[in-house]
Chain A
């Protein structure tokens, strides 16, 4: 292939990509794109909202509903949904191997991003609706209450890709300086140990602070005011300022692993870095016996 052909191909590919709509990346779709493509045959939209009754009272037309606490996790042991259960769910939702899946949800796509991570662990590429449900509603786009009962799909899932998932020993190795960068996306007050957990939260760790060596970039810094992800260049600069430039593998964590999926998505899908999400997060690490902790504010858990 000569240089001219290569150039032509590149230009052609660029033109194609731009003609396909104003997509921010291969893994994000805009509300415009989604509305234009509603009803497309190879498209399946999945809502993952945390508040009950939100989907039923009006969802993006043609969407199916996944309940994060029942469909995306194992409801008994602490784990993501099993391969068998998740495969059955996807088939029941009419998803084939070549279906384009777009996820969205309430609360800034946190649980939709968790969903995207679970899909990715099982080898299925999905896209997120940039801005999520909040932006779709704010723009006054149509909602439907009509339920969808799709014909069964044929998707087959791969074995889980453990590389996308950090476990306690991986995090301990990172704390001991194996070269992995830890990104703690909780609020600064949690990170510095001033508080054990945000107000009203029942699942606690009995220690305050963070994993030694972690940097703190609260998840919200990655989004613009309307809830969409900031442009890739801004994201790159944001994380680079905290010393996260993609030159080393990254582990993201938060309290229970769901908001960190949002940052996992930004770092891995938008910036292309190598990132694993630690779903045990602080509620596992901060409760583990004997692990090193940095607690700059010195808050002591008194059992009260």
Chain B
């Protein structure tokens, strides 16, 4: 049942926080804009039901390609937008320099392992991290449990980081496609891959179109069409990269986990090389309000407003027998996101949009993990 008054109240809370935020963070990035972009992202996730696990499961279970096509559209639009920005910032991609802050990470077996664990965690916990965050806005108590597990997973990730860094990550190549193929070549290759994937997904046609709806119902009643969600996310990613930084949802979580774990003294005194990587790498918290923190707050609150307006607000608590599964799934998500320097948003979306080899590797292994997890859950059920 739609609840317009609480929805307006949620919007008012967003406005109040926006008005109270400092204009800029320590690096001079605009905090209110970061929160607004988080809000836009949360709205698109909630209204498009853009949850990496749901998109994948719809395909596994029912052969419904719409969710994955939305993802491909988001990647294509974001790729074009991000390349337009990077092309201006790094006129000559063949040099040694990477575009600033872009999520282009080392490609190693640790990345593959992290991505696989993340995919498994999605299947086990029922969502990826960004989707657990927007589900908080729908009142999902299970997501709180999964996110708590993810914090623990991050702490485990930090504990295993130094060994993985020295064994795999430090010597691994950082593959930025435009450095090898030029902008045109990298764009052609990646758009070609996305188009091929879309053609394959759509080989059996598109599910029956729904009848027309009123504008209100189209925006707040029904799930957004795949192309609309994909376009919105691609545009949000482009603006975010231009003005604030690449999309990502785990830096703040990781930062909280790192600060907490450090307080308990269970972390190695130094996490080698970690602070030198671009990605959702995590720093020890020094300020209460970081750009990723306000992005996540905006995401959750906008999802709440959208869920209230659309009638998707259904507060629920997980059953006692679901708690261990949610915790375990969360731990896998957190560990995977930590050692891969990001999750489905930070590595797949922001990585592929920036032309990173690491984005594609993460996507492949994450999908494999999700498939194995899905198979396992079917057998156990």
Q: Which residues of A contact B (CB under 8 A)?
A: 51-57, 67, 70, 106, 137, 145-147, 149, 202
Contact = CB atoms under 8 A, between A and B. Distances in A.
Contact of A56 (B27, B96, B100): B100
Given A53-B245, A54-B27, A106-B28, A147 B88 contact: yes
A146 B88 CA distance: 7
18 contacts: A51-B28, A52-B100, A52-B101, A52-B278, A53-B27, A53-B100, A53-B101, A53-B245, A55-B100, A56-B89, A56-B100, A57-B242, A57-B243, A70-B97, A106-B28, A147-B88, A147-B89, A149-B91
B91 A145 contact: no
Given A52-B100, A53-B100, A137 B88 contact: no
Given A53-B101, A55-B100, 13 more contacts: A51-B28, A52-B100, A53-B100, A53-B245, A54-B28, A56-B100, A57-B242, A70-B96, A70-B97, A106-B28, A145-B242, A146-B88, A147-B88
Nearest to A200: B284
Interface of B: 27-29, 88-89, 91, 96-97, 100-101, 242-243, 245, 270, 278
Greatest chain B CB density within 10 A among A52, A53, A55 is at A53
For A57, A67, A145, the residue with the greatest tally of chain B CB atoms inside 10 Å of its CB is: A57
A101 to B, nearest CB: 21
Contacts, number: 30
A145 B100 contact: no
Secondary structure class of chain A's binding surface, majority of residues: loop
Nearest to A67: B97
A147 B308 CA distance: 44
Contacts of A145: 88, 242
Nearest to B100: A53
A119 B327 CA distance: 57
Nearest to A52: B100
A55 B88 CA distance: 12
A48 to B, nearest CB: 14
Nearest to A56: B89
A238 to B, nearest CB: 28
A106 B101 CA distance: 17
